[in-house]
Structure 1
């Protein structure tokens, strides 16, 4: 993406239109483009976000305003599919005569087939500004390998194929699983098929959920039973560092759900894919026995330090963490 946003070595494209059903990839591309256009502190004065459904006058006015202590202004116009015909016409006109001191990103899922949408799409194509982010065009194995590499790890090709088999081709889910793998191996070294099967949440998710449910319910007996299954269940022995990263991730999800419950908003992120019964049970438990974020963070940090220093069996350190977290 970085090379595509430059007209030359010193000039950035004034407009980039991003369309597709891969919002995670679009988010990455926009973040990269923003970092190039308004690096560091310049973003505080020159970057702004607008939604096309609210009208585009504000976004275009911002784009035409002289930047402050920066070469460019950066305008992120989202949900392009919600723009009115009048707004699309204004955007098409802007694309033909953009402001050279601004970088404007127009993004959304699709434009539809109205006259205004076709005119906007044509203007973007003619200007060389249209970028497509469609799921059918992606190479999920390569995406996983590149994300792991950017984090300092080498994801083997066979492991990447296995990861896609387990998680599917959803980009957001795939990125999340790669991040978990990187965390599980300590942020360095190679990641093979065995590591994928050990750390992938879809393999051990049921047991990890059982463990986190027991932690939230302050049930040490059930928690230790799940802990034993995770440490040596089936034919696989998982490292305590891997288990700690998985528990930390689940606690993160529970804290996000707890915050949503308190605010009265929709469950965040991955909770939309959790079975309704499990979501209801987790919500009820968090209402009865809320998690203390500071306490959980301290416990996880202490356990991580203890595992790094452990000379004997670090299994005792992990089990000690579980007992501490289930203590009323």
Structure 2
């Protein structure tokens, strides 16, 4: 295995696929691979000493740095110096992954250095047709969907490619035969809604620790930050609509009819004990949406701040 640096940015699904392709290439025998994974925040402390060291017991190592967009200027300076110097003679492989380049630090110089040495690959989901991608994934998994299965799956999962990959992989584990419309609706509902409901419950009872843990889990499972913000907004609106119907002694909103009665009653009890304030909720959601479009901090940090503020409400 010869050393190399790869910077893979953009679509989480396409970045993950390219990362696996590189790992298969540089270390065909995964059992013999010494792999260290870290976030950019952790990498600032861990990577310099590890990647510049040499061990006779593990001369060839692979380092994967995730969430590159959260890198500090100091970490970018180290990466720039490494790429321009030691990387050329190193036996280690460094794979940098993330959504985009950080907004602070020597971003332009680092991007130029990566491009000059053909180390940078950027992946855009805008160029991918979700329907065609769904068809390809089903073929790869030897998965047969019902006549309307693809449409139902795309409606429930959305156009996020990583979420689509994860759902199709789970459906493939469910059955070797044709998957019916009912199977898709039940399985994807269980997969996509269980964590969301637990997350909403944690916010309602002000359990900040649990809410943050669930947020991290859903992000790690492939929910894109913008999609996660949409999910939080949607769930808060649903809860506010239910709360308002009870306050005005009206029938519950139709979208709540499919929720098991026991679950619905439990939510109503919680809302009575911890009522939501619509004006404050919408103000926080709007603030997060603005930060997504303008702030220099990472999307993950914006979501964490939103959860903290909702739990403090």
Distance in 2, Cα, partners of 1:172 & 1:135: 10
Report what 2:236 is aligned to: 276
Distance in 2, Cα, partners of 1:79 & 1:246: 27
Report what 2:133 is aligned to: 143
1:1-328 equivalence runs, <5 A = 11=1, 14-20=4-10, 22-34=11-23, 37=26, 39-43=29-33, 46-54=34-42, 56=44, 58-66=46-54, 69=57, 72-97=60-85, 98=87, 99-111=89-101, 116-154=106-144, 160=150, 163-164=153-154, 167-183=157-173, 186=175, 188-189=176-177, 195=180, 197-201=181-185, 243=186, 245=187, 249=191, 253=195, 264-266=210-212, 267-268=214-215, 269=218, 273=231, 275-276=235-236, 285=266
Mark the CA change 1:65 to 1:41 in structure 2 (over 3 Å): closer, same or farther: farther
Higher relative contact order, chain-length normalized (CA < 8 Å, sep 6+): 2
Structure 1 unaligned blocks of 5 or more: 1-10, 202-242, 289-328
Root-mean-square deviation over aligned CA pairs: 4.3
Distance in 1, Cα, partners of 2:135 & 2:114: 31
| Contact kept? 1:52, 1:77, Cα under 8 Å | yes
| Contact kept? 1:52, 1:82, Cα under 8 Å | yes
Distance in 1, Cα, partners of 2:264 & 2:36: 35
Report what 2:272 is aligned to: none
The answer to which of 274-283 and 28-37 deviates more is 274-283
Structure 2 unaligned blocks of 5 or more: 243-262, 270-313
Mark the CA change 1:139 to 1:263 in structure 2 (over 3 Å): closer, same or farther: same
Q: TM (normalized to structure 1)?
A: 0.53
Q: TM (normalized to structure 2)?
A: 0.55
C-alpha distance after superposition, 1:127-181 (max 9, x if no partner):
1111112221333233323332333325699854664455432123322442354
Distance in 2, Cα, partners of 1:87 & 1:28: 25
| Count of equivalent residues | 228
C-alpha distance after superposition, 1:222-274 (max 9, x if no partner):
xxxxxxxxxxxxxxxxxxxxx5x467647964897589969534234268616
C-alpha distance after superposition, 1:105-133 (max 9, x if no partner):
11222225667101111111111111112
| Contact kept? 2:8, 2:120, Cα under 8 Å | yes
Distance in 2, Cα, partners of 1:56 & 1:167: 35
Q: CA deviation at 1:103?
A: 1.0
Mark the CA change 1:157 to 1:119 in structure 2 (over 3 Å): closer, same or farther: farther
The answer to which of 72-81 and 270-279 deviates more is 270-279
| Contact kept? 2:5, 2:93, Cα under 8 Å | yes
| Contact kept? 1:89, 1:119, Cα under 8 Å | no
Kindly name which structure, 1 or 2, has the bigger radius of gyration based on alpha carbons. 1
Report what 1:239 is aligned to: none
Mark the CA change 1:96 to 1:189 in structure 2 (over 3 Å): closer, same or farther: farther
Distance in 2, Cα, partners of 1:130 & 1:157: 40
SS of equivalent to 2:74:
helix
Mark the CA change 1:154 to 1:30 in structure 2 (over 3 Å): closer, same or farther: same
Mark the CA change 1:252 to 1:31 in structure 2 (over 3 Å): closer, same or farther: farther
Report what 2:275 is aligned to: none
The answer to which of 117-126 and 161-170 deviates more is 161-170
